């Protein structure tokens, strides 16, 4: 990561534009993506936050696919870690 830490993402993404944005951001900030699973049929959850001129926030949330990812792969990543943050 940017602060010199070894940062790993344990997650899954689809094979769409949203996934490209996420993975490009991870690469930009040197996040290890070895444990990111690409699941082509996955539709990501999406959230948009609107903030008006008074600072009031409105959240619009669209749930995507609820896909079960490989738990063994996640446990492998956790076992190799000194710290784990959720």
pLDDT along the chain (86 residues), means of 10: 78 89 93 91 87 95 76 86 79
Domain that holds residue 56: 8-79
pLDDT value of residue 23: 94
pLDDT value of residue 85: 78
pTM over 0.85: no
Q: How many domains does one find in the chain?
A: 1
Residue 14 counted as domain residue: yes
pLDDT digits (tens, 9 = 90+) for 28-39: 999 999 999 998
pLDDT value of residue 46: 83
Sign of the Cα pseudo-torsion (33, 35, 40, 43, in order): negative
Residue 85 counted as domain residue: no
Residue 17 counted as domain residue: yes
pLDDT value of residue 66: 65
Residue 70 counted as domain residue: yes
């Amino acid at each position: 990561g940017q602060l010199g830490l070894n940062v790993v993402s344990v997650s899954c993404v689809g094979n769409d534009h949203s996934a490209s944005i996420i993975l490009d951001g991870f690469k930009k900030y040197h996040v290890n993506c070895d444990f990111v699973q690409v699941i082509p049929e996955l539709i990501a959850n999406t959230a948009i936050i609107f903030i008006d001129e008074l600072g009031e926030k409105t959240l619009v949330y669209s749930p995507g696919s609820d896909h079960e990812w490989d738990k063994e792969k996640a446990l492998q990543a956790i076992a190799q870690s000194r710290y784990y943050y959720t």
